[in-house]
């Protein structure tokens, strides 16, 4: 009889293990997405950094598990699963679309629990939590949801044209849209880590100004990267995105090293 998986085993996927990593990059998928979306990033990112992708319930190898249609509840569960990660060296967060909101909420929970938080956060293709916009995509019928997937991109055209695959994809996508469209930020202290916002200049869901508003959610440094393209700009600019992420993480490595040196000096 197989032993039950730990929370970490159930929730986290490492495609390219890097035992000598300097920082672990925990990646949060978009609505309807899965951990494998970050496989390409795990291959292209600077080898000093290890990609650890979050696998939400209800998809791929977790397809038999109940879906979670609430960002706060999902954030609670991910924060629990990251308990061991918080004690295993510095880490950063990268979230795209719904994943950006979830990464933000997980970081808040870690802080409120007194645990280590990310040394940097990357928020991609998502307006700041303080920028509220009503969303009703999750209330559309299947045809309306399919039209949304075609409009924003990011879904393999072979899936969109296969009724059997669509039957599996649409309930997961609807669930995630419900989670992110009903999410509301209720204020609270900003984060302290540096934040890098990334956005496509023609994203129908997030304007450049919406992305800039993330600056108000941290007391740390803020940077904005704008790429040509729509909501899934990063598919067309994956190498440039990986370069930008690697450069920012290299700066975080310097910050971590400087903090460690200062701590050693204060205790000697």
- Identify the CATH class of 7-135+185-267: alpha beta
Give pLDDT, residue 128. 97
Q: What is the pLDDT of residues 211-243, one digit of tens each?
A: 999 999 999 999 999 999 999 999 999 999 999
138 is catalytic: no
> Over the chain, what HEC string results?
CCCCCCHHHHHEECCCCCCCCCEEEEEECCCCCCHHHHHHHHHHCCCCEEEEEECCCCCHHHCCCCCCCCHHHHHHHHHHHCCCHHHCCCEEEEEECHHHHHHHHHHHHHHHCCCCCCCCEEEECCCCCCCCCCCCHHHCCHHHHHHHHHHHCCCCHHHHCCHHHHHHHHHHHHHHHHHHHCCCCCCCCCECCCEEEEEECCCCCCCHHHHHHHHHHECCCEEEEEECCCCCHHHHCHHHHHHHHHHHHHHHHHHHHHHHHHHHHHHC
CB-CB contact of 185 with 130 (8 Å) = yes
Q: Which single residue is written with the structure tokens 């925990």? A: 26
Give pLDDT, residue 133. 79
97 is catalytic: yes
* Separation between Cα atoms, residue 222 and residue 194, nearest integer Å: 6
Q: What is the pLDDT of residues 210-219, one digit of tens each?
A: 999 999 999 9
Lookup: tokens for 92 = 């950063």
Q: Which single residue is written with the structure tokens 């490595």? A: 253
Indicate if the pLDDT at residue 135 is higher than 50: yes
Domain ranges of the chain: 7-135+185-267
Q: What is the pLDDT of residues 4-19, one digit of tens each?
A: 456 778 999 999 999 9
Give pLDDT, residue 266. 54
N-to-C CA span, the chain:
52
In whole angstroms, how far apart are CA 33 and each of 26, 98, 248? 15, 9, 25
- Residue 1: pLDDT band with limits 50, 70, 90: very low
Per annotation, catalytic residue among 96, 138, 231, 237: 231
Q: What is the pLDDT of residues 61-109, one digit of tens each?
A: 999 999 999 999 999 999 999 998 888 999 999 999 999 999 999 999 9
Average pLDDT, the chain: 90
Per annotation, catalytic residue among 42, 97, 124, 252: 97
Burial (CB count <10 Å: 0-12, 13-18, 19+), residue 7: middle
* Separation between Cα atoms, residue 84 and residue 232, nearest integer Å: 31
Percent of the chain's residues with pLDDT above 70: 90
pTM above 0.85, yes or no: yes
CB-CB contact of 10 with 36 (8 Å) = no
Indicate if the pLDDT at residue 34 is higher than 80: yes
Strands 195-200 and 121-124: parallel
């Amino acid at each position: 009889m197989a032993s039950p998986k730990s929370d970490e085993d159930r929730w986290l996927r490492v495609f390219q293990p890097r035992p000598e990593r300097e920082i672990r990059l925990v990646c949060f998928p978009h609505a309807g997405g899965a951990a494998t979306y970050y496989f390409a990033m795990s291959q292209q990112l600077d080898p000093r950094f290890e990609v650890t992708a979050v696998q939400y319930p209800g998809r791929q190898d977790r397809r038999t598990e109940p879906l979670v249609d609430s960002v706060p509840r999902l954030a609670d569960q991910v924060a629990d699963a990251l308990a061991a990660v918080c004690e295993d060296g510095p880490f950063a967060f990268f979230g795209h679309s719904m994943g950006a909101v979830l990464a933000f909420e997980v970081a808040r929970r870690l802080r409120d629990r007194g645990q280590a938080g990310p040394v940097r956060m990357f928020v991609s293709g998502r307006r700041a939590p303080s920028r509220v916009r009503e969303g009703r995509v999750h209330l559309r019928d299947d045809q309306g949801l399919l039209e949304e997937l075609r409009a924003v991109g990011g879904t393999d055209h072979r899936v969109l044209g296969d009724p059997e695959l669509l039957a599996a994809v649409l309930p997961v996508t609807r669930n995630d849209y419900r989670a992110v469209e009903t999410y509301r930020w209720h204020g609270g202290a900003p984060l302290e880590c540096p934040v890098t916002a990334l956005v496509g200049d023609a994203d129908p869901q997030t304007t450049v100004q919406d992305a800039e508003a993330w600056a108000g959610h941290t007391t740390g440094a803020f940077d904005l990267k704008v790429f040509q393209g729509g909501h899934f700009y990063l598919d067309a600019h994956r190498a440039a995105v990986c370069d930008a992420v690697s450069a920012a993480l290299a700066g975080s490595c310097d910050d971590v090293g400087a903090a460690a040196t200062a701590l050693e000096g204060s205790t000697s």
